[in-house]
Amino acid sequence: MRGALVLLFAACGLAGKHGGAGHKHQTPACVEHPKECTDLCASVGKFVGMNRKGVQDGRGWSWYYPAVQKYATCIRAEKWVEVGAAWGALAKHMLQHATIEAGGPIAEYHIVDPFLGGYDEKDPMSRMFRLAVANQSYESISIAWAQNIGWALGGGGEAAAGCRLRVHRETSVSGARLFADKSVDAVFIDGLHTYEGVKEDIIAWAPKVREGGSLIFNDYPNTVWFAGIQRAVDEEAARRGVSLRFINPKQHDNAVLGGDPNCAELAPPQAKRQGKKHGHGKKHGDA
């Protein structure tokens, strides 16, 4: 426990150097993570932690995590935002492998997610929040879910990320307002998977990325379940007059707008435009 606390302070100290006071892109500031997780936080956390472990262990969608980590390193992303974090499995991977302490570039890893169930009947993840515990409102589950992720990944239990991790229990659009314009290196967009949702993501986050920064769209090839993602992203690429690049070109996934072109590839012609499954794991409803 003492070791965890020391690490926490060390990370906060470094945040002062790379992303804290005196840094021109300081917003939003570090908020201390919960020091304990009891009662509802613990019971919701049991469900969240079990599923996070499941994804990590390969019973889910973690197949793209190493490539995303490599991409963050390639573009030297100091400030990274993940819109839609679910169990926190990608966040955990990135906090363990892509932060400054791990030899990577990330000084700040921001999660923006309301953790509120029932947001899209077509998205199986939307139903997972109800399954966390019985007889609790979506709002109570959301609060406990966010607390648990902060406690587990920030406080020391699983990633000891300290101030490197900042959890914002907000929707994509309201969360974007917390950030100064041109202050973010990359936004990994994996929240509301509808056409309108992704359109709103683009409008909200495009001004927040620095010149040459990246907008990354997960689930781009998932046209059977979420055709709106590809439509919204393709429209934006056409509007900008650019070709999309991909972090996972083989699977045609994690489409990138902006960013260093040397860090992502154009999709090969044989790239799969897959349906509900892509890569080596399910993306949705595999809890």
Summarize as ranges the residues that interact with ligand SAM (CB under 6 A): 82-86, 89-90, 112-115, 119, 125, 171-172, 190-192
Rg (alpha carbons) of the chain, rounded to whole number: 18
Distance of CA 41 to the CA centre of its chain: 21
**Minimal CB distance residue for ligand SAM:** 84
Q: Where are the alpha helices (DSSP H) in the chain?
A: 2-18, 39-56, 65-74, 89-97, 125-131, 138-149, 172-176, 195-205, 227-240
Query: Considering beta carbons, is residue 45 or 84 the nearer one to ligand SAM?
Result: 84
Tell the smallest beta-carbon distance from residue 173 to ligand SAM (Å). 7
Query: Considering beta carbons, is residue 125 or 187 the nearer one to ligand SAM?
Result: 125
45: DSSP letter:
H
Cβ atoms within 10 Å, residue 79: 26
Query: Considering beta carbons, is residue 14 or 41 the nearer one to ligand SAM?
Result: 41
Tell the smallest beta-carbon distance from residue 90 to ligand SAM (Å). 4
Query: Considering beta carbons, is residue 19 or 114 the nearer one to ligand SAM?
Result: 114
Query: Considering beta carbons, is residue 27 or 174 the nearer one to ligand SAM?
Result: 174
Using alpha carbons, select from 168, 161, 164 the residue that is nearest to residue 108: 164
Tell the smallest beta-carbon distance from residue 216 to ligand SAM (Å). 10
Tell the smallest beta-carbon distance from residue 52 to ligand SAM (Å). 8
Please enumerate in sequence order all residues whose Cβ is within 8 A of that of 241, keeping only pairs 6 or more positions apart, or say none.
Answer: none
Using alpha carbons, select from 145, 148, 161, 183 the residue that is nearest to residue 28: 183
Tell the smallest beta-carbon distance from residue 269 to ligand SAM (Å). 27
Main-chain dihedrals φ then ψ at residue 142, nearest 5 degrees: -60, -45
Total number of residues shown for the chain: 287
Tell the smallest beta-carbon distance from residue 17 to ligand SAM (Å). 28
Tell the smallest beta-carbon distance from residue 281 to ligand SAM (Å). 11
Distance CA 215, CA 188 (A): 6
Query: Considering beta carbons, is residue 79 or 283 the nearer one to ligand SAM?
Result: 283
189 sits in which H/E element = strand 184-189
> b/e map of 182-213 (b: 16 or more CB within 10 Å)?
ebbbbbbbbbbbbbebbbbbbebbbebbbeeb
Query: Considering beta carbons, is residue 185 or 200 the nearer one to ligand SAM?
Result: 200
Query: Considering beta carbons, is residue 14 or 65 the nearer one to ligand SAM?
Result: 65
Tell the smallest beta-carbon distance from residue 5 to ligand SAM (Å). 27
